[in-house]
Chains A and B, each alone.
Chain A
Amino acid sequence: MRSAAVVQVCDMPTVSVKRELLFQALGRRYTDEEFDELCFEFGLELDEITSEKDIISKEQGDGKAEGASDIILYKIDVPANRYDLLCLEGLVRGLQVFKERIKAPRYKRIMPVNVDVQRLIITEETAQVRPHAVAAVLRNITFSKDRYDSFIDLQEKLHQNICRKRALVAIGTHDLDTISGPFTYTARPPSEIRFKPLNQSKEYTASEIMDLYRTDSQLKHYLHIIENKPLYPVIYDSNSVVLSMPPIINGDHTKISLNTRNVFVECTATDITKAKIVLDILVTMFSEYCEKQFTVEAAEVTYLNGKTCIYPELAYRREKVKPDLINKKIGISETPSSLAKLLTRMCLKSHVTGNGNNIEIEIPPTRADIIHACDIIEDAAIAYGYNNIQMTIPKTYTIANQFPLNKLTELLRQDLAAAGFTEALTFALCSQEDIADKLGADISSTKAVHIANPKTAEFQVARTSLLPGLLKTIAANRKMPLPLKLFEISDIVLKDSTKDSAFFPGRCAEILAKGQSIGKLGVLHPDVITKFELTMPCSALEINIEPFL
Chain B
Amino acid sequence: MSPAMATDGPALAELLLQRLERAGGSGLGSLEAAAALGLEHQQLVGAVKSLQALGEVIEAEQRSSKRWELTSEGKEIIQEGSHEARVFDSIPAEGLPQSKLMNLPSGKVGFSKAMSNKWVRLDKNADGGPRIFRAVESVQDSVREKLQLVQQGEAESLEEKDRNELKKRKLLTEVVIKTYWIRKGSAFSTTVTKQETDLTPEMIASGSWRDLKFKAYNFEALGIMPESGHLHPLLKVRTQFRQIFLEMGFTEMPTNNFIESSFWNFDALFQPQQHPARDQHDTFFLQDPAKATDFPMDYLKRVKKIHSQGGYGSQGYKYDWTLEEARKNILRTHTTAVSARMLYRLAQQEKFTPAKYFSIDRVFRNETLDATHLAEFHQIEGVVADYGLTLGDLMGTLREFFTKLGISQLRFKPAYNPYTEPSMEVFSYHQGLQKWVEVGNSGIFRPEMLLPMGLPEGVSVIAWGLSLERPTMIKYGINNIRELVGHKVNLQMVYDGPLCRLDA
Contact = CB atoms under 8 A, between A and B. Distances in A.
Which among A389, A399, A410 has the highest number of chain B CB atoms within 10 Å?
A: A389
A484 B390 contact: no
B258 to A, nearest CB: 6
Interface in A402-424: 402-403, 405-406, 410, 413-414, 416-424
B256 A6 contact: no
Given A273-B317, A372-B446, A477 B416 contact: no
B252 A401 contact: yes
B405 interface: no
Contact of A5 (B229, B242, B384, B464): B464
Contacts of B388: 328
A335 to B, nearest CB: 18
Contacts of A382: 414, 422
A337 interface: no
Interface stretch (A55-63, A253-261, A351-359, A447-455): A447-455
A429 B335 contact: no
A388 B386 CA distance: 23
Contact of A425 (B242, B440, B463, B485): B485
B288 A79 contact: no
A79 B415 contact: yes
Interface stretch (A176-184, A206-214, A468-476, A502-510): A468-476
B415 A450 contact: no
B175 interface: no
Interface string A326-338: 0011111000000
A6 B276 contact: no
Contact of A426 (B400, B486, B492): B486
A473 B447 contact: no
A289 interface: no
B128 interface: no
B84 interface: no
Interface stretch (A8-16, A68-76, A238-246): A8-16
B276 A423 contact: no
A470 B336 CA distance: 29
Contact of B381 (A5, A391, A421, A493): A5
Contacts of B390: 328-331, 392
B261 interface: no
A400 B418 contact: no
B120 interface: no
A387 interface: yes
Contacts of A452: 284-287, 290
Interface stretch (B55-63, B148-156, B391-399): B391-399
B375 interface: yes
A458 B423 CA distance: 35
A397 B387 CA distance: 12
A35 interface: no
A80 B418 CA distance: 9
A80 B460 CA distance: 24
Nearest to B356: A398
A374 B356 contact: no
Main secondary structure, interface of B, reads mixed
B30 interface: no
B396 A405 contact: no
Contacts of B494: 422-424
B336 A5 contact: yes
Interface stretch (B3-11, B15-23, B230-238, B294-302): B230-238
Chain A at the B interface: SS class: loop
B179 interface: no
Given A372-B315, A417-B231, A387 B412 contact: yes
A342 to B, nearest CB: 13
A424 B313 contact: no
Which of B280, B422, B441, B494 has the most chain A CB atoms closer than 10 A to its own CB? B422
Contact of B252 (A274, A403, A419, A454): A403
B230 A400 contact: no
Contact of A422 (B318, B460, B486, B495): B495
A449 B288 contact: yes
A371 B316 contact: yes
A394 interface: yes
A366 to B, nearest CB: 15
B195 to A, nearest CB: 34
B70 interface: no
A427 B487 contact: yes
Interface stretch (B40-48, B212-220, B243-251): B243-251
B376 A428 contact: yes
A43 B314 CA distance: 23
Interface in B19-70: none
A184 B353 CA distance: 60
Contacts of A394: 384, 386, 389, 393, 396-397, 462
Interface in A24-76: 40-43, 45
A418 B336 CA distance: 34
A405 B392 contact: no
A493 B413 contact: no
Given A329-B460, A394-B396, A449-B288, A480 B492 contact: yes
Contact of B286 (A80, A373, A449, A480): A449
Contacts of A413: 231, 235
Contacts of B234: 425
Interface in B387-436: 388-393, 395-397, 399-400, 411-424
Most A-side CB within 10 Å, residue of B254, B442, B491: B491
Given A10-B277, A372-B447, A389-B392, A403 B253 contact: yes
B439 to A, nearest CB: 12
B488 interface: yes
B278 to A, nearest CB: 10
B292 interface: no
B117 interface: no
Contacts of A397: 249, 354
A6 B442 contact: yes
Interface in B327-383: 331, 333-336, 339, 354-356, 362, 364, 366, 374-376, 379-381, 383
A248 interface: no
A403 B254 contact: yes
A18 interface: no
Interface in A92-106: none
A391 B464 CA distance: 15
A372 B447 CA distance: 8
B256 A418 contact: no
B303 to A, nearest CB: 15
Contact of B489 (A332, A398, A473): A473
B465 interface: yes
B70 to A, nearest CB: 44
Given A6-B383, A423-B494, 10 more contacts: A378-B422, A393-B400, A395-B386, A405-B256, A422-B491, A422-B495, A453-B366, A455-B366, A472-B488, A473-B487
29 contacts: A2-B256, A5-B336, A5-B464, A6-B463, A7-B465, A8-B333, A43-B416, A273-B318, A330-B392, A371-B314, A386-B414, A392-B390, A394-B389, A398-B356, A403-B252, A403-B253, A414-B231, A424-B491, A427-B375, A428-B258, A429-B331, A449-B286, A449-B288, A450-B286, A452-B286, A459-B284, A462-B259, A475-B487, A476-B489
Closest CB pairs A-B (n = 4): A5-B465, A331-B392, A43-B414, A331-B390
